[in-house]
Structure 1
Amino acid sequence: MKQILLIVGIVLVIAGCKTSPTGRTQIALYSDQKMNEMGSASFEQMKKEQTIEDDPVTNAYVKCIANHLIAELPSNYANQQWEVVVFKEPSANAFALPGGKIGVHTGLLKVAKNQHQLAAVMGHEVGHVIAEHSNERVSQNSLLQFGLQASSTALQMGNVEYRNAIMQGLGLGAQYGVALPFGRTHESEADVIGLELMAKAGFEPEGSVALWENMEAASSGNRPPEFMSTHPAPQSRIDNLSSKMGGASQLKRAAWQLGKKPQCM
């Protein structure tokens, strides 16, 4: 088992570390080109399988918000060609993928009631991209699979009693002890990145808190316990965002002084 841990450690060192926009250390095994290819392929598949909203007013509204947010991204992302698609889907959801892809479901427009609230969601989703969370998650899954396979081999070679039960325990430990908390870390980090991004674009940062209050009201009673979810509970998100509101408000005022005051209707 010590040898297995040593091998995993060597893999981590070889993979190298990156630093997220909030200063958190990350492991990324895949190139930007590979992630962009995967993101673009997934987006093309979604466009084939889901109905695309063709209402020009709705599309103009969503793209207006996207353009303001994209303008505030680091140059390597801001200069990228972004594709924004509104899907005719009832769920209150949005997403962004490597390769410059943003998708918004029409159901989200019923929960995000103005440009500031929608900017909070879209900023959050773009935050996942610029923080390379997809790369980190894919890399994490690859390393987890490697670790579990190596553990199974070691137990089999050592003729360990109750091997199957031990492997089931390792699997549960990987899921609830690593994968899910890791997802919550990503979500909280994307909340902070999205808050700063929307504020720099001139949107009202308080819209992020109002959004999650709406989400809480819309989904009350339908969520699993927070420790079993990849997403923090809405109240946890509200508390986290509220603690950052002072700095975000300063960013918004600075944006307004530069004439950045979005009017996406």
Structure 2
Amino acid sequence: MKKVLACMLVALTLSGCKTSPTGRTQIMLYPEHQMNEMGLASFDQIKSKQAVDTNQANNTYVKCIADALIAQLPNKYASQKWEVVVFKDDSANAFALPGGKIGVHTGLLKVAKNQHQLAAVMGHEVGHVIAQHANERVSQSSLLQAGLQVSNAVMEMNNIEHRNAIMQGLGVGAQVGIALPFSRGHETEADIIGLELMAKAGFKPIGAVELWRNMEKQGGERPMEFLSTHPSPDNRIQRLSDNMSSANNLYRNAQQKGLNPTCK
């Protein structure tokens, strides 16, 4: 029984191995069309529950940045139809979903002081989509659940005492030791993809660092990094700074090609 379960997990894992845009090995068990359907359904649900900003200036500004970024995506993403919506929400947030959906909160427009800073956030969110992080997270969740079920079955077959307490501990260990670092890894990867994307589109890469400095000034209590799905602002700024030289080269190439967005 144990061998059969283990073989099933290994087979599932190997069948879903792919490579991210940064060269990282990924486990993705779900077909892309299914993830797109999930993204479309989620976006429709958000639009039904959250007020949409109809301010023409805001929408034109956000779409201008989105169009510049989308034009630099790999062809299968650049050629698809994207929907960009500005939501009335005071939180400094944005998101992108599989299926070509981008949402930007009005609160972010107060923290991102110019097109370069806003492009950093939107590039980051689109980076999650082209790296297929949603698929990876859903797949990881499925594998973790299967692994915990296997552990429970093995302990049950061997009459292990205190099985419930052990299972609870395994659940916490999986969350802190695997799921959260996994999510932080996604955030870091999306930061780098977004930095390169904004630079290729003609936005100033330094805007990404400036944006996170603005975010840090917003304050608010944050959990310790090892208990958070996001890296700390200081770590994000440092990693972005480490990649600034190559991003500036991409920006200069974009300028030479005449890519100079003027989104206002």
TM range (shorter): over 0.9
Aligned counterparts of 2:83 and 2:190: Cα–Cα separation in 1:
20
Residue type of the alignment partner of 1:141: S
How far did 1:160 drift?
0.4
Q: Which residue of 1 aligns with 2:89?
A: 89
What SS does structure 2 have at the residue aligned with 1:213?
A: helix
| Unmatched segments (≥5 aa) in structure 1 | none
Q: Which residue of 1 aligns with 2:175?
A: 175
Aligned counterparts of 2:33 and 2:8: Cα–Cα separation in 1:
27
What SS does structure 1 have at the residue aligned with 2:187?
A: helix
Aligned counterparts of 1:141 and 1:113: Cα–Cα separation in 2:
37
Is the contact made by 2:91 and 2:108 (CA closer than 8 Å) also made in structure 1? Answer: yes
Residue type of the alignment partner of 2:150: A
Residue type of the alignment partner of 2:16: G
Aligned counterparts of 2:80 and 2:110: Cα–Cα separation in 1:
30
What SS does structure 2 have at the residue aligned with 1:195?
A: helix
How far did 1:7 drift?
3.6
How far did 1:5 drift?
4.0
Deviations 1:142-192 (A, max 9, x none): 111111112112211211011011101110111000000000000000000
| Unmatched segments (≥5 aa) in structure 2 | none
Given the two structures, how large is their TM-score scaled by the length of structure 1?
A: 0.97
Alpha-carbon RMSD? 1.1
What SS does structure 2 have at the residue aligned with 1:22?
A: coil
Aligned counterparts of 2:223 and 2:195: Cα–Cα separation in 1:
25
Is the contact made by 2:2 and 2:150 (CA closer than 8 Å) also made in structure 1? Answer: no
Residue type of the alignment partner of 2:13: L
Q: Which residue of 2 aligns with 1:121?
A: 121
Q: Which residue of 1 aligns with 2:229?
A: 230
Q: Which residue of 1 aligns with 2:34?
A: 34
How far did 1:11 drift?
2.1
Deviations 1:6-64 (A, max 9, x none): 44223212x33110000000011111100000000000000000000000000000000
How far did 1:2 drift?
6.1
Q: Which residue of 2 aligns with 1:241?
A: 240
- Percent of aligned pairs with the same amino acid: 66
Is the contact made by 2:94 and 2:105 (CA closer than 8 Å) also made in structure 1? Answer: yes
Aligned counterparts of 1:222 and 1:66: Cα–Cα separation in 2:
31
1:144 aligns with 2:122: no
Aligned counterparts of 1:7 and 1:37: Cα–Cα separation in 2:
27
Larger CA deviation: 4-13 vs 129-138: 4-13
Q: Aligned ranges for residues 1-265 of structure 1 at < 5 Å?
A: 3=3, 4-13=5-14, 15-218=15-218, 220-265=219-264
Residue type of the alignment partner of 2:192: V
Aligned residues: 263
Aligned counterparts of 2:64 and 2:186: Cα–Cα separation in 1:
26
Deviations 1:208-254 (A, max 9, x none): 00000011110x24100000000000000000000000000010011
Aligned counterparts of 1:257 and 1:156: Cα–Cα separation in 2:
66
